[in-house]
Structure 1
Amino acid sequence: MQKFALTIRSQVSFVCFSLDYGMHLFKADQRGVPKFNPVLGRQGDAEEGIESSVKASLLYTAPEILRTGVSHLDHVGAGTLQGDMYSMAMIMVEIQTHEAPYNEYLDYVDIDDVLQAIAGQKNIKSLLPPAWVKKGSSEGLRPTLPEDADPAYVALLETVWTEDPLQRPSFTHLLKQLEAQSPQRGDLMDNLVSMLEKYSTNLEAIVAERTSELAAEKQKTEDLVCRMLPRAIAMQLTRGETVAAETFECVTIYFSDIVGFTSIAGASTPLQVVDLLNDLYTCFDAIVDHFDVYKVETIGDAYMVVSGLPLRNGDQHAGEIASMSLHLLSAILSFTIRHMPEQKLQLRIGMHSGPAVAGVVGLKMPRYCLFGDTVNTASRMESGGLALRIHMSEPTAELLKKLGGYTLQARGKREVKGKGVMTTYWLNGQEGFNRPLPTEDMAVSASQHEFK
């Protein structure tokens, strides 16, 4: 019995045993295994009835042994060292191809014919693709190897499975040749530990990469949710907490719409209307991000923003909405409608300060909604204003006066639908605000407004 460590192309090390030679001495006295007689063979062995799986084991047997008429491994008897070397070549082929030797031939030729071809007793070239049989060789059939196989490895195999047993190398010589082609450092356990370390390092890198990708995707999801809901509310929902409705003593609510939008939409296709609103709200959203405000929703051409919730900011909510309104009014001057470049949009803005209740409504596509009279009044400030002007209620004006730095103009007392008589104001500017603002002559006439 020969034993040695083997390293093949895959850099996988293992211990290989070659067992035919001398095995009859171990098996001779086993029950049911008759002793081998080289002259008489084994009593009771009949060619008929031997299964293909039994014959397949002979594919590893050397041709000179096959020529003795064996039909079962037990017939091999003592075997030979040179025969074991041939069997070692078949193992090397199996490692290289990950298939049993001669497996590619069995789809075309019966296993008995293959065994005779290995022994050189039958020519089956006419039954096989020409490239599968070694050209110009007088030897018997041999396995095929992949086209990308290492030439040095192929050359070594050809010496191991050569027809002449005396020309086959010893196991010691074979081991030296294999080690020369695939140097092996240390013993089997050292190589096994090294491979495990490499695998562990590679696995850690893969896990780190996947964890990074997961974190990035999680961040994208959180960012998307935070665009739909205030971040503080979104984090509560993410943690599985119930978000209770909350009352806020004073907030400032902004409403705006486009004067004459119905006419513009009527002269546009639905896709053009979508593009118009998308361009407009993309412009507005970029400005809103610079202020301590929360965009509540958009309905058609209406745009609603609030400051002072869900995070309270004292009286600053009025200033945040006022400054944001001036920037939006300035931005509308340079806004261009793609399919109507000559048409200028007329933004009408209204805002009001007062108490409000806010809470999450719904489970599917939840919305953070505002409730209370302040919402209605802010809407009335917008609908009762003028194009290219910022209209506000007296409570908002008082807060801006308290903050200071804003240019206000009293509009006087006006009848507001559902609210009675109210004193309202215009916001005309802010100290330090040097962006261009529309003038009164740019606005459409009051007759084109629909006051509610």
Structure 2
Amino acid sequence: MFNIDTLDVGDDSLRLEMVILKEIRHNNLIQFIGACLEAPNVALVTEVAPKGSLEDLLSNEAVKLGWDFRYSILKDICRGMDFLHRSEVVSHGRLKSTNCLVDNRWTCKISGKFWRVYLQPRQFFLSHSLSSYSFLKTYALLRPLTSQSGQRVRLYGIILTEMCTREQPYTNETSFLEAEDILNLVRDKNNPAYKKQKSVGENNFILMDHCWSDNPEERPTYRQILEQLNIIHPVKGELIDNLVNMLEKYSSNLEAIVADRTKDLILEKAKTEQLISQMLPKKVVEDLKHGRKVLPEEFECVTIFFSDIVGFTAIARDSTPFQVVDLLNDLYTTFDAILDHYDVYKVETIGDAYMVVSGLPIRNGKLHAGEIATMSLDLLSSMVGFRIRHLPGKILQLRVGMHSGPCVAGVVGLKMPRYCLFGDTVNTASRMESSSVALKIHMSSMTADILMELGGYILDCRGEREVKGKGTMTTYWLDGKEGYDKPLPTKDMAISLSQHEFK
């Protein structure tokens, strides 16, 4: 914008310069479009750079600037200035970070302040006071020189310093100086304050030093600066183009990456499914996974197992909560490992109670009774070698009960679905356990009949007993199995009946 009434287009030099500016096109120069000639909007019209000036980006601490970005910007400035020096414009005249604008592609473009007719350096000099930072930033390094282009390269040294430090020139070391003192300071580059500006690596410092050389003939051209930058940071092209190239290289390896990620996904999926299968039967999991509704199902005959620890209340009373957790974790880890060898499904654990079923959700004929019976012998055998960490001399008094009969099974709940069993068979199996004794396996006559039919199991009739809620029932002990060679607890290992708590 210009604070004037109009631009005199009759001026030949003005028209010529507008033609030159209109014809100058380069990827690192802001494109001149035209001008508005009449008040109150006398202004130049140029290409828009939405991300603002380089000074804005450097002063915004929220913007993280990696060195790839910084070197890309520095190279963009060199390309633009090299083009200007080779064009009819010859030089810029006011190169500084406020005139370096960044577009949406993160390409740095030098703004059109390089025309001489509109704003000449002398006019600018007279319109600003020495205390103005804008003046200092533009003219802090101006001194009588024999080479005008050398002066412009010297201004590039200020931008290089700003890019490396993300600070305004002389901000820290010279904040106590007046504007005139700064002008005197830069005339003597051997001053210690000047040397404090050296930072961000030897290569960058050498380049800055060349740009600020007192001898104009020693200052590099912009093309030479660009060559040095390519040596320091050998990445060519614009930042966005480099990112695209990186993406292309990445996409070439995408199939291998996808294959690796797919393997990881399959492994994680297998872990998830294994975890879910420990909460629900596999058949139920498959139905739920495929969106099929799991309806309650009736089973004609299954065998249900219950167990608990006689005297567990006393053990818990004499133990800390952490010791109780360790005990149950060790016990159920042992039990779970045994269950893996049988066609059974662990329904749940409540405290020291352990519930297992066979014959559902996959029916297995009459084999369910044999699966539960042999499993029970293995669980009882594990008590021989099982040791409580904090009570190593104490033997866990496992008691077992089982019963065979019909039941209904189904999934209950949505947030934490449970596969639950319902029916009188569940209650009767629980009664078989509660009326059993330590280190013994107690069963109903229904289970005993199936085992006799299967053959090979050693049963001992306990006789008729009054079972709470069931009346008189004939029950049996399971003492072993033909060919079973694992050690089983002996009678002297069991506690007396007086120490039992019958429910």
- Could you tell me the TM-score, scaled by structure 1's length? 0.75
Contact 1:55-1:111 at 8 Å conserved across structures: no
Matched, 1:86 2:154: yes
1:99 aligned residue (166, 171, 174): 166
Query: Once superposed, what is the RMSD of the aligned Cα atoms?
Result: 4.2
Taking structure 1 as reference, are residues 422 and 197 closer, same or farther at Cα in structure 2, changes over 3 Å only?
Answer: same
Superimposed CA distance per residue, residues 7-50 of structure 1 (whole angstroms, 9 cap, x where no aligned partner):
x9749655421158434797244xxx2556xxxx4399433499
Instruction: Map 1:245-264; keep pairs closer than 5 Å.
Output: 245-264=296-315
- Partner in structure 2 of residue 288 of structure 1: 339
Distance (whole Å) between structure 1 residues aligned to residue 166 and residue 256 of structure 2: 32
Matched, 1:27 2:115: yes
Matched, 1:134 2:233: no
Matched, 1:42 2:123: yes
Taking structure 1 as reference, are residues 328 and 4 closer, same or farther at Cα in structure 2, changes over 3 Å only?
Answer: same
Taking structure 1 as reference, are residues 403 and 51 closer, same or farther at Cα in structure 2, changes over 3 Å only?
Answer: farther
Superimposed CA distance per residue, residues 42-94 of structure 1 (whole angstroms, 9 cap, x where no aligned partner):
39943349964x436516x74326x99xxxxxxxxxx8211122133334444
2:207 aligned residue (140, 153, 156): 156
Superimposed CA distance per residue, residues 107-157 of structure 1 (whole angstroms, 9 cap, x where no aligned partner):
83568357525642899x7xxxx6x5328xxxxxxx4322xx1x2442233
Contact 2:130-2:179 at 8 Å conserved across structures: no
Superimposed CA distance per residue, residues 299-345 of structure 1 (whole angstroms, 9 cap, x where no aligned partner):
23221111122232332222221111011000011112223222222
Contact 1:116-1:122 at 8 Å conserved across structures: no
Q: Secondary structure at the match of 1:85?
A: helix
Contact 1:2-1:17 at 8 Å conserved across structures: no
Q: Which runs of 5+ in 1 are unaligned?
A: 69-78, 136-142
Matched, 1:145 2:145: no
- Partner in structure 1 of residue 135 of structure 2: 55
Distance (whole Å) between structure 2 residues aligned to residue 117 and residue 316 of structure 1: 103
Distance (whole Å) between structure 2 residues aligned to residue 297 and residue 444 of structure 1: 27
Bigger Cα displacement from structure 2, 372-381 vs 261-270? 261-270
Deviation at 1:418, TM superposition (A): 2.0
Matched, 1:108 2:171: no
Taking structure 1 as reference, are residues 159 and 202 closer, same or farther at Cα in structure 2, changes over 3 Å only?
Answer: farther
Contact 1:336-1:344 at 8 Å conserved across structures: yes
2:143 aligned residue (27, 43, 64): 64
Q: Secondary structure at the match of 1:388?
A: coil
Q: Secondary structure at the match of 2:474?
A: strand
Contact 2:442-2:477 at 8 Å conserved across structures: yes
Deviation at 1:106, TM superposition (A): 7.8
Contact 1:388-1:438 at 8 Å conserved across structures: yes
Contact 1:105-1:114 at 8 Å conserved across structures: no
1:313 aligned residue (364, 382, 400): 364
Taking structure 1 as reference, are residues 173 and 440 closer, same or farther at Cα in structure 2, changes over 3 Å only?
Answer: closer
Matched, 1:421 2:472: yes
Deviation at 1:378, TM superposition (A): 0.5
Contact 2:328-2:352 at 8 Å conserved across structures: yes
Deviation at 1:435, TM superposition (A): 0.7
Amino acid at match of 1:435: K
Distance (whole Å) between structure 2 residues aligned to residue 101 and residue 202 of structure 1: 43
Contact 2:310-2:398 at 8 Å conserved across structures: yes
Taking structure 1 as reference, are residues 35 and 361 closer, same or farther at Cα in structure 2, changes over 3 Å only?
Answer: closer
Superimposed CA distance per residue, residues 383-411 of structure 1 (whole angstroms, 9 cap, x where no aligned partner):
22222111112222232233333222333
> Sequence identity, in percent?
52
Q: Secondary structure at the match of 1:297?
A: strand
Instruction: Map 1:218-233; keep pairs closer than 5 Å.
Output: 220-233=271-284
Distance (whole Å) between structure 1 residues aligned to residue 174 and residue 334 of structure 2: 70
Distance (whole Å) between structure 1 residues aligned to residue 492 and residue 186 of structure 2: 107
Superimposed CA distance per residue, residues 274-312 of structure 1 (whole angstroms, 9 cap, x where no aligned partner):
333232222222222332222222223221111122232
Distance (whole Å) between structure 1 residues aligned to residue 27 and residue 224 of structure 2: 11
Deviation at 1:188, TM superposition (A): 9.9
Taking structure 1 as reference, are residues 305 and 175 closer, same or farther at Cα in structure 2, changes over 3 Å only?
Answer: same
Amino acid at match of 2:154: Y
Q: Which runs of 5+ in 2 are unaligned?
A: 1-23, 29-65, 94-112
Distance (whole Å) between structure 2 residues aligned to residue 430 and residue 338 of structure 1: 31
Q: How many residues align?
A: 413
Amino acid at match of 1:400: L
- Partner in structure 2 of residue 274 of structure 1: 325
Taking structure 1 as reference, are residues 367 and 168 closer, same or farther at Cα in structure 2, changes over 3 Å only?
Answer: same
Distance (whole Å) between structure 1 residues aligned to residue 378 and residue 441 of structure 2: 11
Distance (whole Å) between structure 2 residues aligned to residue 110 and residue 198 of structure 1: 52
Matched, 1:17 2:84: no
Contact 2:198-2:205 at 8 Å conserved across structures: no
Q: Secondary structure at the match of 2:327?
A: helix
Amino acid at match of 1:297: E
